[in-house]
């Protein structure tokens, strides 16, 4: 086992759980879905009245799908603001018909609701307290709204423990693109073998961090199998709190 100077964590579903079941439950076209769209719509109609909710919802989802396709294909981030610019263009709302910060404002409403589904598992606090006494810490997150990623960490009281909180919305590139890992290591003055990356996604975290020569710990809560074409993780954890026993050994 290597000894490490730094631990670099993925954010969502590694340090912070994203709980879909805590998102607002709404009725659309006769079906129940979990979505922030009703709350965003309420704000939207205060500026742009007259668009039925179903039409807004269709554009809301189209904008999301289009952003997701670009993210996956090009490994670049489409920010939440850009996604809402897309939504407004699909609704044929000219940008100059609304306040200039309207896309940002809609993104904030969406993120405020989404944040209510972001939970910090209590057992992660003692793990981070142990880690900060022994390692330099950082976060690399694929997320489309950097203030929300920082706010959710602030809520846990641990944000100051991380030297770097690197968010794809600010970097332009997304994991598994090597650039986001290399930039973080460079900012910390580390070479790849000095840091361990900890994340839950094989394609994004494990493939990405391995690709730049870092060791990785895979948080595999569902007992998934390692897949062909993805480098094997150096450690596998059934939950994040197991990291301590792996590294103390
Ligand atoms: Mg994750």
What is the number of structural domains in the chain? Answer: 2
pLDDT tens-place string over residues 139-193: 999 999 999 999 999 999 999 999 999 999 999 999 999 999 999 999 999 999 9
Q: Are residues 153 and 70 in the same domain?
A: no
Q: Calculate how far, in angstroms, residue 201's C-alpha sits from the geometric centre of ligand 1.
A: 6
Residues, Cβ < 5 Å to ion ligand 1:
10, 12-13, 200
Q: Which of 98, 115, 132 is the last residue of a domain?
A: 115
Q: Calculate how far, in angstroms, residue 17's C-alpha sits from the geometric centre of ligand 1.
A: 9
- Tell me the CATH number at 200: 3.40.50.1000
What distance in Å separates the CA atoms of residue 27 and residue 38, rounded to the nearest whole number? 9
Per the structure, the complete domain to which residue 159 belongs is given by 6-17+119-248
- The count of other CB atoms within 10 Å of the CB of residue 20 is 7
Q: Are residues 59 and 105 in the same domain?
A: yes
Q: Calculate how far, in angstroms, residue 11's C-alpha sits from the geometric centre of ligand 1.
A: 6
Whose structure tokens read 């809520």?
155
pTM of the model: 0.96
Confidence category of residue 75, pLDDT binned at 50, 70, 90? very high
Residue 1 has a pLDDT of: 61
The answer to whether residue 126 sits within a structural domain is yes
Q: Are residues 240 and 138 in the same domain?
A: yes
The answer to whether residue 1 sits within a structural domain is no
Q: Residues of the chain with pLDDT > 70: what percent?
A: 100
Mean pLDDT (whole number) for 82-98: 92
Buried b (16+ CB within 10 A) or exposed e, 62-88: ebbeebeebbeeebebbbbbbbbbbbb
Residue 249 has a pLDDT of: 75
Residue 98 has a pLDDT of: 86
Structure tokens at 98: 């609304």
Q: Calculate how far, in angstroms, residue 15's C-alpha sits from the geometric centre of ligand 1.
A: 8
Residues 218, 224, 225, 227, Cα dihedral to 10° = -70
Q: Are residues 191 and 83 in the same domain?
A: no
Smallest CA-to-CA distance from 50 within 103, 91, 85, 87 is with 91
pLDDT tens-place string over residues 122-148: 999 999 999 999 999 999 999 999 999
The answer to whether residue 137 sits within a structural domain is yes
Q: Which of 93, 115, 137 is the last residue of a domain?
A: 115
Q: Calculate how far, in angstroms, residue 35's C-alpha sits from the geometric centre of ligand 1.
A: 20
Q: Calculate how far, in angstroms, residue 143's C-alpha sits from the geometric centre of ligand 1.
A: 10
Q: What is the mean pLDDT of the chain?
A: 96
Q: Calculate how far, in angstroms, residue 28's C-alpha sits from the geometric centre of ligand 1.
A: 28
Q: Are residues 87 and 147 in the same domain?
A: no
Cβ burial of 56 (10 Å; 0-12, 13-18, 19+) is buried
């Amino acid at each position: 086992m290597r000894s490490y100077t730094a631990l670099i964590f993925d954010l969502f579903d590694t340090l912070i759980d994203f709980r879909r079941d805590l998102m607002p439950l709404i009725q659309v076209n006769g079906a129940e879905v979990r979505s922030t769209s009703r709350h965003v719509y309420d704000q939207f109609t205060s500026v742009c009245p007259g668009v039925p909710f179903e039409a807004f919802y269709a554009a809301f989802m189209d904008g999301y799908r289009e952003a997701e396709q670009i993210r996956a294909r090009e490994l670049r981030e489409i920010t939440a603001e850009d996604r809402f610019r897309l939504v407004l263009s699909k609704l044929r709302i000219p940008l100059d018909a609304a306040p200039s910060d309207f896309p940002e404002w809609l993104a904030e409403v969406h993120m405020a609701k989404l944040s209510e589904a972001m939970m910090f598992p209590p057992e992660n606090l003692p793990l981070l307290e142990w880690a900060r006494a022994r390692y330099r810490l950082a976060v690399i997150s694929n997320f489309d709204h950097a203030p929300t990623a920082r706010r959710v960490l602030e809520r846990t009281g641990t944000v100051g423990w991380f030297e770097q909180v690197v968010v794809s919305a600010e970097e332009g590139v997304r994991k598994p693109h090597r650039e986001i890992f290399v930039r973080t290591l460079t900012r910390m003055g580390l070479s790849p073998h000095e840091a361990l990356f900890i994340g839950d996604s094989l394609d994004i975290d494990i493939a990405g961090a391995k690709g730049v020569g870092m060791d990785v710990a895979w948080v595999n809560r569902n007992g998934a199998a390692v897949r062909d074409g993805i480098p094997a993780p150096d450690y596998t954890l059934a939950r994040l709190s197991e990291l301590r026993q792996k590294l103390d050994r």
